């Protein structure tokens, strides 16, 4: 008997593949225009490419669904209704729902939430690959493979492209979750899963606690008394995914044959990703990259002590910094210092002086402590020693931060590509992984306290000495 149902499915598949090709051609046209004019994409072009990518993913999922039906058709009468989906919802449905969420209902999650949990609907998507090594080898060795899904850069599936190939969600989840274990900022921050190139997270700003007369935000009203209307300070944080590139290389033999190379490659990318994200969240300038804490207008820089020796950190420095921390962050703030600051911290302690100001003693027990588990604490708060801080004596060599007041946007999509030029003489393959991330401090300025003369902030550092 002639299989009319398969004929219909094949026709639908062919039409969808034509649609994919049209979308690719449109994306290629946008990129070629920008390249011909030797400029970056405009905001409108970036939005267009983002929309094409979303449509491309949805259409590609439809093709896969049809292929699955053709390979394993379920016998049922043509008059029977389509069965209701059971179990995990399809990636097509997930994509549609995610697209509907868009910028309307952003979810703000605890930074310790795993990448897989953020995008649970597609966290197990391997794209048909057995593991990350098989996926990377197909790209690195320049193999044609229909499982390779090009990024929205105007190239056909399975073939090399200047825009690279989409990394299956499970693999990018592994990279981000491995990186999370060693990161400083992200586990302590607030994170928004992004399913589009930009998202707005609304909130309320409380940067000015001073009022005229009554300093309380609460108004106490007499019976039938009339209150004074006060306008809430609504703020909107606009996250726009920035391209973060990570480079790595491997020999062709390792890609094709080395046992356990998958874990080595995953860990290499994860380590670079974790370090790079932390550095951006601390020092980024906000131009084509996240805005870091050290460049935030909310950062408070505490002055050094009078006649303080260069390259030192005193007890009065850290107590002054603690006094400028926003009180809401006392129970969750963390000290960050560089390795060369440790000798100074071990000397920290209140100095006992005579009436004429002569120092006669002091110690470190009340200030800096090493705990039984080997960790450090300063004035009761944890200390993290990291090379991501500035050199001793310069601004940024010590930071007191409540990272719960930092907002991060993570996009699910990532792409990988290889260079066809580098490593030719040594038989090495050079990879570039592109992830999309943004981040910024939530407050735009320090908070003015009730007396109008003092300011506090979630982020406090020390001036150069």
What local confidence, expressed as pLDDT, does residue 3 receive? Answer: 52
Q: At what angle do helices 43-71 and 4-36 cross, to 10 degrees?
A: 160
CATH number, span 298-406+455-462: 3.30.2320
What local confidence, expressed as pLDDT, does residue 95 receive? Answer: 39
Average pLDDT over every residue of 332-348: 94
Give yes or no for residue 233 having a pLDDT over 70.
no
What local confidence, expressed as pLDDT, does residue 99 receive? Answer: 40
Distance CA 431, CA 363 (A): 52
* 202's tokens: 């609304």
Q: Between 323 and 4, where is the model more confident? A: 323
What local confidence, expressed as pLDDT, does residue 215 receive? Answer: 53
What local confidence, expressed as pLDDT, does residue 225 receive? Answer: 77
Q: Choose the weakest-confidence range: 69-83, 221-235, 322-336.
A: 69-83
Q: Choose the weakest-confidence range: 131-140, 333-342, 396-405.
A: 131-140
The model's pLDDT over 145-182, given as tens digits with 9 standing for 90+, comes to 778 777 654 333 343 444 577 787 778 888 888 899 89
Distance CA 436, CA 414 (A): 7
Q: Choose the weakest-confidence range: 229-238, 324-333, 454-463.
A: 229-238
Average pLDDT over every residue of 347-360: 62
Per cent of the chain over pLDDT 70 is 69
Distance CA 264, CA 262 (A): 5
Give yes or no for residue 119 having a pLDDT over 70.
yes
What local confidence, expressed as pLDDT, does residue 152 receive? Answer: 53
Average pLDDT over every residue of 66-93: 49
The model's pLDDT over 404-445, given as tens digits with 9 standing for 90+, comes to 999 999 987 787 777 656 555 666 777 788 889 999 999 999
- Are the C-beta atoms of residues 181 and 189 closer than 8 Å to each other? no
Alpha-carbon dihedral angle through residues 254, 256, 259, 260, given to the nearest 10 degrees: 80
What residues form DSSP beta bridges with 251? 428
Distance CA 166, CA 146 (A): 12
């Amino acid at each position: 008997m002639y299989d009319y149902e398969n004929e219909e499915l094949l026709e639908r598949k062919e039409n969808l593949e034509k649609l994919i090709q049209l979308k690719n051609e449109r994306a290629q046209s946008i990129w070629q225009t920008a390249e011909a004019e030797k400029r970056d994409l405009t905001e409108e072009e970036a939005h267009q490419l983002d929309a094409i990518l979303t449509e491309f993913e949805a259409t590609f999922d439809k093709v896969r669904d049809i292929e699955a039906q053709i390979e394993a058709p379920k016998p049922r009468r043509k008059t029977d209704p389509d069965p209701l989906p059971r179990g995990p919802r399809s990636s097509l449905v997930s994509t549609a729902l995610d697209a509907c969420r868009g910028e309307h209902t952003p979810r703000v999650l605890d930074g310790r939430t795993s990448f897989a949990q953020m995008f649970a609907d597609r966290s197990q998507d391997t794209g048909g690959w057995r593991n990350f090594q098989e996926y990377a080898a197909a790209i690195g060795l320049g193999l044609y493979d229909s499982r390779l899904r090009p990024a929205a850069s105007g190239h056909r599936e399975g073939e090399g492209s200047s825009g690279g190939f989409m990394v299956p969600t499970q693999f990018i989840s592994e990279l981000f979750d491995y990186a999370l274990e060693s990161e400083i900022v992200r586990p302590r921050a607030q994170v928004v899963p992004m399913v589009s190139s930009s998202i707005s997270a609304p909130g309320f700003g409380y940067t000015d606690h001073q009022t005229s007369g009554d300093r309380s935000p609460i108004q106490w009203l007499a019976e039938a008394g009339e209150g004074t209307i006060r306008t809430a300070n609504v703020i909107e944080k606009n996250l726009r995914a920035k391209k973060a590139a990570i480079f790595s290389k491997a020999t062709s033999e390792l890609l094709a044959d080395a046992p356990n190379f998958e874990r080595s490659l995953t860990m290499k990318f994860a380590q670079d990703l974790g370090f790079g994200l932390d550095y951006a969240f601390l020092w980024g300038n906000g131009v084509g990259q996240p805005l870091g804490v050290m460049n935030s207008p909310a950062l408070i820089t505490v002055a050094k002590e009078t006649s303080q020796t260069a390259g030192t950190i005193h007890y009065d420095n850290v107590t002054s910094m603690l006094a400028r921390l926003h009180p809401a962050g006392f129970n969750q703030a963390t000290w960050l210092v560089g390795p060369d600051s440790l000798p100074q911290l071990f000397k920290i302690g209140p100095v006992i002086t005579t009436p004429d100001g002569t120092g006669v003693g002091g110690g470190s027990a009340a200030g800096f402590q090493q705990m039984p588990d080997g960790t450090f604490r300063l004035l009761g708060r944890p200390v993290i020693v990291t090379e991501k801080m500035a050199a001793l004596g310069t601004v940024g060599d010590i930071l007191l931060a409540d990272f719960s007041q930092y907002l991060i946007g993570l996009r699910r999509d990532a792409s990988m590509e290889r260079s066809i030029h580098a490593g030719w003489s040594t038989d090495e393959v050079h990879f570039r992984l592109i992830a999309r991330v943004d981040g910024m401090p939530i407050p735009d300025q320090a908070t003015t306290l009730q007396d109008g003369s003092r300011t506090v902030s979630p982020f406090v550092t020390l001036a150069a000495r």
